[in-house]
Structure 1
Amino acid sequence: MDFVFNIAKGRAAELYWRVKNSDPANSALLVVALAVANLEADTVLQDKDTLADILSGATDEATNSGYARNVLTAADLAALTPDDTNDRMDLDIPDQTWTAVQAGSNWGKLVIAYRPASASPDSAIIPMTAHDFTITPDGSNIVAQIDAAGFYRAA
């Protein structure tokens, strides 16, 4: 993980738990790709409180043909299990795949965000973590392993 958005510090495990337990129904985690062009600095991004805030500045979401936000629901997430041996909580998501992503926007970062309901506007989506992910789409599949240890660790 490159950073945790300030709005999600101390909340990421709870938001993950809410999705895993369908509370509310249709809540989900989203994986959003940000274009490298005009990507704001981490110190600027981490202060953004919603996905709409992120996208209202210079930063843009990727627009490549073949790209869409990946939606992770309860069935996609592992059970929330504290690591009592190491006194921490690690959260993981499955590797993410986008099929046949065409050239266009080069990607610079992936954002994991909490969506409270299926029809939530970007102004209600809470960004949790950001991960550097520099890639130049070329028509092939894109696979992202966020981190072998997980996308978030509370210790």
Structure 2
Amino acid sequence: MVVFPVREYTSYDEFVREWCAEALADEECSLTEARDRGLIDEQATQWRWQLLGELNPDELLLKIPKWLAEEKVGFTEGGTPTELVGRIGDETEKAILFIDSAPAQPLMKRAHRIHMLETSLKEQNTDTPDVEQRAWLQDRLTEQRNQYATDRETTGLVDEWLPISQIIQAVRRSDP
């Protein structure tokens, strides 16, 4: 049986270095220098990282070329997505069946909102907690998690066989 290689990351900086490898290819600099020089789209990369944190262990983020996305996915709200979230249903030596997939962009936005609410809940002063604010934050977090699940269901794409040779990146986040 073929096992499709999926790159797993435990560190955000490791993820940034490899996800942004093309932008950093001609530059010999540290991540800090690359960030300072604007070589990395930090916001978009952080949102991808936050999305990876919301995925189930069997799910992954896949990046494919635009021509393949146009052929297999077509136009969705906002354009033709080249980054997709889903699972591998089956595989051969030359292709994978990508199932339960959805465009990554809207999910990244939702994952970012979830991350911000979780951060706010953690940062809330524990010495004198504001019970009403905490309840409000918890309600918003529950809403966002429910909406994330709904978005996955309503924006799902048809299961597609994708040629392994054309997959630019396949990544997931794992616990350290």
The answer to whether the superposition gives a TM-score over 0.5 is no
TM-score by length of structure 1 reads 0.23
Which is helix-richer, 1 or 2? 2
TM-score by length of structure 2 reads 0.21
> Which structure: larger Rg?
2
Which is strand-richer, 1 or 2? 1
